[in-house]
Structure 1
Amino acid sequence: MKFLFAGTSRENGGAEAHFVTLTQALAAAGHTVEAVVHPDAPMAKALAGSAVRLHAGRFRNVFDLRGYRATIAAARRLKPDWLVGDFGKEYWPLILIGRLLGIPVALFRHRLKPMNRLSARLVARCAQRFFAVSEYARRDYIEHGMPAGRVQVLYNPVDMEQCRPDPAQRAALLQQLELDESALVLGCFGRLHAGKGIYTLLDAANAAMAQEPRLHCLWLGDGIDTQRLRDSIAASPFPARHHQLGWVADAAPYYNALSLLAFPSIATEAFGRTPVEAQACNVPVLCSDAFGIPETLQPGVTGLLLPPGDSAAWRDGILALCDDATCLPMAAAARDFALQHFSTPVIAAEFVRQLGEAGR
């Protein structure tokens, strides 16, 4: 099949990671894939040199003619079987271009924030396929007016070659952090703001550190609460056992430093890419039992679900995974679970299968 993706976001979040990974997965599966992207965006840099041919384009909003010109020109040259979009500002442009050129449109939504009432009712009806990234998100969209029969689920793909266990990398990272091999490293990766549950985790980690002297915490990412978290760590009982590295362009290698990963979000989450990437590296996870997050793990097998905002429960969960009897079997099961449910070949094949059903 031939696909033309359009995504001119200049951000570097989960939707952008989905765009990059899915386009590369389809290309790796033998499909022809091209993409209209902002030339200065992280997505353009991530796809540069890949099998995905890039076209420079910009959609500042639904009325931006620059984006229409670039997308129409690319579509007329490629003659794709599908136009695909990941971002709200390109929904209506792709629908209009699809109608103009007679090309079906598939759209993804990664947020739980409701669209306006008119778009909620019409977008999924006007596109030939509309994908939520979790069952929870699908239910949410339907509750906000989307027609149930028009919304499908396709999980976020994760590149299992990029995220894989690497003992040598683990040793190098522990050395970089000045930790010995016996250290137990709890990771929290992503945007640093209160809605991500970072202060619940900080309290829980400090309480666990009081009982487990080998425990350290690795914070990777930045956000509006970066400095507040740094100040809270400095005032905590164990500041030297918290390692706040800030934002890094490629977080994948750092999963190998971890013994366990926490995803303690208290704000709404449609999905959770970070727990899946951690499991791909044989790292068991602790996740909030809320929103779309429980769909990212196999509870009791590859990790634990915990009540969001409950620092005592998170302390107990951390200590449970500091015990080899609990942690090691979960670590051993984690990568197989990620492979079966979220690997790029699995998601690319399911995407193509669902698009095929649209024409029946």
Structure 2
Amino acid sequence: MRPLYQLNLQQQFGGGEVYTDFLCQALGRLGVPHTLLVHPDAPFWQQFNLPQTTLQAIQPDLPSLLQALASPSLLLTHGSTPPTWRRALKAAGHRLVGIAHMPLYGRDPKAFENYDGVIGVSQYVINSLHDAGVKQAYPEPWYGVAALARMQRTEMNITQHSYYDWDKRKGRDRLLSWLEPLVKPFRSRPVFRKKPGLTVGIVSRLTPIKQFPLLFEHLAPALADIPDLNIEIFGSGGYASVRDLKQALRPLAERVRFWGHQHHVADVYAQLDFLLTGLPEKEALGLNVIEAQYCNLPVLAVDALPFRETVLDGKTGYLFTDPRQDGGKHLKTLLLAIQNGTKPHPQPAQEQTHLQRFSLDTFTERVKNTLPWMENSAND
């Protein structure tokens, strides 16, 4: 087999980096030698326990990448690469396989042009590849895995952190990122205590992909009519994303609290009654959906792909009508029925066959089955 490399040049930690972690774990389990090429300004990689992975920092440019690769190599990229990179990599004799972490709907349909193969992280992503004319897509999805290291309870207090993820490329964000640490010592850091009633939580980066402001623009007025309902938000986002989300949540007033990014998500999941997802069309899979179910936390999600792939309606959570269609009436009815006991509170931990689809064992088997295709069959 050709020397195998993964390329992940992200400087911020997110779901794609969690995915990269368990792909390294799977390759290590299979005894496949591999190198992970990362950005020199992404220090979080040193915190991962990847004894079978060679970690190499490179400059984020084409000459550095070409220099790092043995020739000919198999290069797995998380997402796409610039067109000039693809042509140069192919001209140098490298085999190029992309992992599509996002659906191509609304994105560049030529994002994976010149790739030998593309692997989708869900059937929804694969459908988008087919609809974009990507013929070299692998037919089976590489579903994500619950990151079990993140699933360990610490029993530590959950305290409020900054819920802003500053974009240093923007002048306003850069200025606010300088001011925030100056104000921080004068602010109290509340400790999370679950309120009486039904607690629905968001545990996610507050990125435009999730579309939380649009979700609550249609959902908040309906949820405001539900007594003893609390919305707890664990995650951070850009200034505009947080501003717009706060605006959309105004009908719920003091029943909403922001807690910022949390490292120990298992402690967060244990304090919630349900996890709420964002809107579906820009979502690829949702690792938080998988993690929550592994922690026996049921999920509330719009009845559409990709959530139909990850949530068993009535068993590991509930799928509800898109609030852009019904103004949130279906979800309101569901939550009221749960509160009055006419709808059961799902127990995802009882659905082990479903959860096994998202285990590291199953993911490793998927990778094993795909290796010959990556080496020989993709785009042949």
Indicate whether the TM-score tops 0.5: yes
Please give the secondary structure, in 2, of the residue aligned with 1:153: coil
Distance 1:5 1:95, change over 3 A: farther
How far does residue 27 in structure 1 lie from its aligned partner after superposition? 2.1
How far does residue 25 in structure 1 lie from its aligned partner after superposition? 3.2
Mapping 1:1-360, distance limit 5 Å: 3-41=4-42, 44-47=45-48, 50-60=51-61, 64-70=62-68, 72=69, 75=70, 82-89=74-81, 93=85, 96-97=88-89, 100=92, 104-113=95-104, 116=108, 120=112, 122-123=113-114, 126-127=115-116, 129-147=117-135, 150-164=137-151, 166=153, 169=155, 172-173=157-158, 176-179=191-194, 183-192=197-206, 196-198=211-213, 200-201=215-216, 204=219, 207-208=222-223, 210-213=225-228, 215-223=229-237, 224-230=240-246, 233=249, 235-239=250-254, 241-265=255-279, 267-309=281-323, 310-322=327-339, 326-333=343-350, 337-338=354-355, 340-358=356-374, 359=376
How far does residue 89 in structure 1 lie from its aligned partner after superposition? 1.8
Distance in 2 (alpha carbons) for counterparts of 1:197 and 1:136: 20
Identity of aligned residues (%): 20
Distance in 2 (alpha carbons) for counterparts of 1:176 and 1:303: 28
Please give the secondary structure, in 1, of the residue aligned with 2:149: coil
**Counterpart code for 1:111:** M
How far does residue 117 in structure 1 lie from its aligned partner after superposition? 5.4
Q: Which residue of 1 aligns with 2:163?
A: none
1:166-214 Cα deviation digits (max 9, x unpaired) = 5x73x9559931236x65321112233675234544774675465442x
Distance in 2 (alpha carbons) for counterparts of 1:183 and 1:341: 33
Distance in 2 (alpha carbons) for counterparts of 1:281 and 1:253: 10
Distance in 1 (alpha carbons) for counterparts of 2:232 and 2:369: 40
Distance 1:99 1:23, change over 3 A: farther
Larger helix fraction of residues: 1
Distance 1:163 1:117, change over 3 A: closer
How far does residue 99 in structure 1 lie from its aligned partner after superposition? 6.2
Unmatched segments (≥5 aa) in structure 1: none
1:97-118 Cα deviation digits (max 9, x unpaired) = 46635x6443211122366555
Distance in 1 (alpha carbons) for counterparts of 2:309 and 2:42: 30
How far does residue 275 in structure 1 lie from its aligned partner after superposition? 1.0
Distance 1:133 1:321, change over 3 A: farther
1:209-246 Cα deviation digits (max 9, x unpaired) = 65442x3221012223213333555x44541x322112
Aligned residue pair count: 338
Please give the secondary structure, in 1, of the residue aligned with 2:16: helix
Distance 1:334 1:187, change over 3 A: farther
Please give the secondary structure, in 1, of the residue aligned with 2:347: helix
Please give the secondary structure, in 2, of the residue aligned with 1:16: helix
Conservation of the 8 A alpha-carbon contact between 2:203 and 2:235: yes
Distance in 2 (alpha carbons) for counterparts of 1:178 and 1:119: 45
How far does residue 32 in structure 1 lie from its aligned partner after superposition? 3.0
**Counterpart code for 2:318:** L
**Counterpart code for 1:305:** L
Distance in 2 (alpha carbons) for counterparts of 1:276 and 1:92: 36
Distance in 2 (alpha carbons) for counterparts of 1:150 and 1:307: 30
How far does residue 355 in structure 1 lie from its aligned partner after superposition? 1.7
What is the CA RMSD across the aligned residues, in angstroms?
3.5
Conservation of the 8 A alpha-carbon contact between 2:294 and 2:348: no
Distance in 2 (alpha carbons) for counterparts of 1:325 and 1:352: 45
Distance in 2 (alpha carbons) for counterparts of 1:254 and 1:335: 22
Distance 1:279 1:291, change over 3 A: same
Conservation of the 8 A alpha-carbon contact between 2:9 and 2:38: yes
**TM-score, normalised on structure 1?**
0.78
Distance 1:268 1:159, change over 3 A: closer
